[in-house]
Structure 1
Amino acid sequence: MDTKLTLNVDKTIIEKAKVYAKSHKVSLSHLIESYLAAIVSKSSKRIEITPLVESLSGVIDLEPNFDFKEDYTNFLIEKYK
């Protein structure tokens, strides 16, 4: 059963969404309905962690203030020297 919904959205966003929907040969209503269905179903799903991944959890001890981005940046600098 379809129900009418009124939304207030920025005009430029609507225009871009219409172009996107047209290029993908779907209606804007269907596009929004699909998006809403996707986010609703994602929130109800729980990611299952395999026993192997669970066994690896906590194997490495890192400092509380460890900076992952800085470490990865340093790795890339060394890699591409």
Structure 2
Amino acid sequence: MDAKVTLSFDAKIIKQAKEYAEGQGISLSRLTEILLRKLTSGGYSNIEDFPVDEWVSMVSEGEAEYITTPKSNKKLKATFFESRKKQ
């Protein structure tokens, strides 16, 4: 069951994280969930022990289980018409 939480981050970090998540085909919420699940299930005594490179590799290689959000009809139409212009 999903639950909502409100977090505050530096605006620049949020922008970068959203761009990264979009590039991976997932939402920022799912990206954050994957990171928190990995962090809390690994038995790390402090955050410095958390192997960020391992997590980034896991996400980029597709081992992570995540839910993608479908594109809206508006985005699909825009993508289609943009591709037609290039032909």
Amino acid at match of 1:34: I
Aligned match of 2:37: 37
Aligned match of 1:63: none
Q: What is the aligned residue count?
A: 44
1:27-66 correspondence runs (5 A): 27-43=27-43
1:2-81 correspondence runs (5 A): 2-43=2-43
- Name the TM-score, length of structure 1 as normaliser: 0.52
Q: RMSD across aligned C-alpha pairs, in angstroms?
A: 1.1
Displacement over 6 Å in runs of 4+: none
The alpha-carbon deviation at position 43 of structure 1 amounts to 1.2
Q: Matches of 1:12 and 1:32 in 2, distance apart? A: 16
Higher gyration radius (CA): 1
Gaps of 5+ in 2: 45-87
Amino acid at match of 2:35: Y
- Name the TM-score, length of structure 2 as normaliser: 0.49
The alpha-carbon deviation at position 25 of structure 1 amounts to 0.4
Q: Which has the higher contact order (CA 8 A, sep 6+)?
A: 2
